[in-house]
Amino acid sequence: MIEGRALPVALAVVGFAAVVIGIHQGLVHVAPGYEGTIVTGWGRSINHEERLLAGLGAVGAGGAVASLRWRRLAAVPAAAGGVVLFYALRAVIYTVQDPGLYTETTTRGGNSVVFVLGAEPFLLVAGGLLLVGAGVAGRRRHAGSQKGSDDAVSAAP
């Protein structure tokens, strides 16, 4: 079992890894059984927002490490996770509205195709939740240690 001191850092590092893996996945895929590919305008390289998400994940992991020393910095991974969650939900909402997911559409070539969510939004949500969990765990770790130190002081004559 992970020691209580290392739990926030472990959660943040796994969350950062999920975000980094997620940004390399596709937001939307062509459903199995349909022919077609999705070509992005970026030439399949990582765009600016995805680089920012990776940076936020790194800041969240760094904040979790710093929260081992300073309690107030436990808010950093929680805030970074909140931004990652917001981006993932915003991207899914825009994608659902524009081309329409899980509904059959016709391409310019006349072929029928169905778009489905790829792995990116799921991995970003998992990474964001892990970063928020790292912030909560870092905050609770300090709350538990302060409680113990107050009891020790009040028990002294």
**Residues 76 and 106: beta-carbon distance below 8 Å:** no
Q: Residue 87 has what pLDDT?
A: 93
Helix, strand, or coil here: 117? strand
Closest CA to 138 of 100, 91, 81: 81
Angle between helices 48-66 and 75-97 (to 10 degrees): 160
pTM of the model: 0.79
For 3-35, the pLDDT digits (tens) are 667 889 999 999 999 999 988 887 777 776 676
Alpha carbons within 13 angstroms on the beta-carbon side of residue 149 total: 6
Q: Which residues pair with 117 in a beta bridge?
A: 28
CA distance 56 to 79: 9
Going residue by residue through the chain (157 aa), what tens digit of pLDDT does each one get?
A: 456 678 899 999 999 999 999 888 877 777 766 766 665 544 567 778 889 999 999 999 999 999 888 888 989 999 999 999 999 999 888 888 866 777 777 777 777 777 788 888 999 999 999 999 999 988 887 665 555 444 444 444 4
